[in-house]
Structure 1
Amino acid sequence: MPETDAPFLRYVALGDSQTEGLGDGDDTVGLRGWADRLAEHLAPHNPGLRYANLAVRGRLAGQVRAEQLAPALALDPDLATVVAGVNDLLRPRFDADEVAGHLDAMFAALTAQGARVATVTFPDLSRITPLARPLGSRVTALNDRIRGAARRHGVAVAETGRHPVVTDPRLWSPDRLHAGPLGHQRIAAAVAHALGLPGSDLAWTQPLPSPAGTAAPAGRHALTAELRWAAAFLGPWLRRRVRGRSSGDGRTAKRPRLLPVQTPGHTSGAATPSGPE
C-alpha cells in the first residue's frame, strides 16, 4: 500500500470500548489501546501531532454518532478513526442497515470536512467464543456494509476480520470481548497499514509462534472453561442488559481535547485522563 504524503496534525478517535482501550491497561494505571498506539506510531513522522480520544465503552453506533461526531468535527481533525457496531451486534434487535447508516453518516461528515478516515472490519466472534456462533451472520452482514460505506466515502478499511490471527486467544483479554495488549498492538498496525503510514506493513497478519507444550482444552475441560467464562463475564454482561444499564454509564471520554502525543512509558491515555477512567 502506498504511504501517505500529507502530515497529520490532529488525530481524533471515535468509538466504543475497543477504541477507549479496554483490555490494554486498566482504570487504575490508565488505558492505552490501539488508538493510543496508532497515535504513537504517527508521532515520529508527524511533528506537532495532537490526539484526542472521544470513545466511551458500551456505546452503540447511534450513540457514538449522537455524542461524539459533533465534538470530533469541532476539533477539525485531519485524521479520524471510527470504529463502532460490536455493541449493536450483541443486542437482540440488531439491524445491520441501521448501524451502517450511523457509520455512513459519520464517514460522510468527517470526510466532507477534509479528514482522512479509517475504520476496521470485525472478526468472527464464534472463533473466539463458541457461544457466539449465532452472531456469525450478523458479523458478515455488518462487515459487508462497512466496506460499502467506506467505498462511498473513500475511507480506509483495516480488514482485521479477514485474517485468522485475529482470533488467536492470545490476542484477547480474558473476557473475550476486548483485545488484550497484543491484540491492540495488531489493530493499530492494521490501521496504520490501511492508511499507508511510513513503517507499516503486513506483519500484523502473520500468525503468532506456536507455544511449546500447550494444547487447547478439549472435551469436559473445554466445557468447564466455557462455563467459567460465562459465569465470570457473560453473566454480569447479561445482567446489565436486563437492567438497561451499560458499562459506560456515567463515563466520559478519557481524552476529549487535542493534546500532544507522548511516547510509550508515558502513554497518552494514562497520562491525561479526564473522566472516571
Structure 2
Amino acid sequence: MTLPAGRYVALGDSFTEGVGDPNKHLPNGVRGWADRVADKLAKDQPGWEYANLAIRSKRLRQIAAEQLEPALAMNPTLITLYAGGNDVLDARTNITEVLRQYEEMVVALSTTGAKLLLFTGYDVDVTPALRVFRRRNHVYNDGVRRIAEQYDAVLVDYWRFEAYRDPRMWAPDRLHMSKAGHKYLASQVLDILGVGHSMNLLDWQPPQSQTLLQWERAQRRWMNDWIVPLVHRKIRGVTLGDNLQPRWPVPVRVPPRGGLRRLVKSGPIDLTTNK
C-alpha cells in the first residue's frame, strides 16, 4: 500500500542528524538514514515535505525543549523520534526520569495524529569500559517498547538488527553508523512503512582477521582520534552540537527525482521560509 504524500518530521540527536554518513554538499556535512527515507518517500509518492530538527550530542531534555514545539507546529503526518541515547551514556543519568520525559514527548507527538516511529538503542560494543551501560540501555529499550505499545506508535527495534554486528556498519568512532549502516537502517524503516526501495545490505565477504599488532595499533589510533577528544570535551563542558543548527529546520519539498541532493544543487534554499 502506497503511503500518501505528507510531511515527515525527524527529531533527535546525531543518530537522526546523520553523523557517520558524510556528504559535504548537504547541511552540516552529513546525509544519514532520515534523508534517505525522505528521498525514497518522495520518489514513491511525489509531494512529500521533510524537516529534520536533529542535532548531534543533544540530551533528551534538550530535544524536548528545542525540537518538540517546532515539530508540533509543522502539522506532520509522519514523525520519527530517537532520543535518550546520549543520556544512557551519561554516568549520572536517572534512567527512570529520562523515560518519564520521553513518554511526555510521545504523548505530545501522538496528539498530532501522525504515524509515529520510535527506536530502541543498539548495544554498541566499542570497549569493555562501556559495557557497564548495557543494563541501563536495556531498561531504556524496555521502556521504549512499552511506550510504543501504549501509545500505538510503530516500533523500530534497532537493538535487534543483527546486521550491525559487522564492524563495517560503524563509522571510525565506533559509536555512529557508517554510510552502509545508515543505508541499511533507511531500508528497514522503508520496509516498515511499506515503501519500495532498492537499498540492501552489501554482499560482503567476511571481514579479514587482524593480527594482535594490527589490533593494538587500531586501538591506539581510535583512542587518540576519538576517545581523548571526547574526554576533553566533557571536561570543558562542550559538545559537537553546540554551534550547529538543525539541518532542515523547516519543511522542504523533496524533489521526486534526485531528492534532497538535487534540491541543494538547484541553488540557495531559504531554510526559514521553505523556499
Give the shorter-chain TM-score range: 0.7 to 0.9
Q: TM-score, normalised by structure 2?
A: 0.87
Aligned position for 2:110: 111
Deviates more, 1:224-233 or 1:11-20: 224-233
Deviation digits for residues 247-268 of structure 1, max 9, x if unmatched? 1112111111111113447527
Aligned partners of 2:74 and 2:251 also within 8 Å = yes
2:169 to 168, 171, 181: 171
Aligned position for 1:63: 62
2:26 aligned with 1:33, yes or no?
Answer: no
Aligned partners of 1:82 and 1:119 also within 8 Å = yes
User: Aligned letter for 2:225?
Assistant: A
User: Aligned letter for 2:88?
Assistant: L
Aligned partners of 1:50 and 1:258 also within 8 Å = yes
Query: How does 1:1-277 map onto structure 2 within 5 Å?
Result: 3=1, 7-26=4-23, 30-126=29-125, 128-195=126-193, 197-199=194-196, 208-211=203-206, 214-262=207-255, 263-264=257-258, 266-267=260-261
Deviates more, 1:117-126 or 1:52-61: 117-126
- Secondary structure, counterpart of 1:267 in structure 2: helix
Aligned partners of 1:254 and 1:269 also within 8 Å = no
In 2, the alpha carbon distance for the partners of 1:93 and 1:268 equals 44
Deviation of 1:103 (Å): 2.1
In 2, the alpha carbon distance for the partners of 1:180 and 1:268 equals 22
In 1, the alpha carbon distance for the partners of 2:230 and 2:263 equals 25
Aligned partners of 1:119 and 1:191 also within 8 Å = no
Aligned partners of 2:78 and 2:115 also within 8 Å = yes
Alignment size in residue pairs? 266
Q: 1:55 to 1:266 in 2, by over 3 A?
A: closer
Q: 1:221 to 1:6 in 2, by over 3 A?
A: closer
Deviation of 1:207 (Å): 8.1
User: Aligned letter for 1:186?
Assistant: Y
Alpha-carbon RMSD across the aligned residues, in angstroms, is 2.5
- Secondary structure, counterpart of 1:241 in structure 2: helix
Deviation of 1:225 (Å): 1.6
User: Aligned letter for 1:267?
Assistant: R
Structure 1, unaligned stretches of length 5 or more? none
Deviation of 1:157 (Å): 1.2
In 2, the alpha carbon distance for the partners of 1:264 and 1:119 equals 27
Structure 2, unaligned stretches of length 5 or more? none
Identity over aligned pairs, percent: 36
Aligned partners of 1:173 and 1:180 also within 8 Å = yes
Aligned partners of 1:36 and 1:267 also within 8 Å = no
Q: TM-score, normalised by structure 1?
A: 0.86
Q: 1:233 to 1:118 in 2, by over 3 A?
A: same
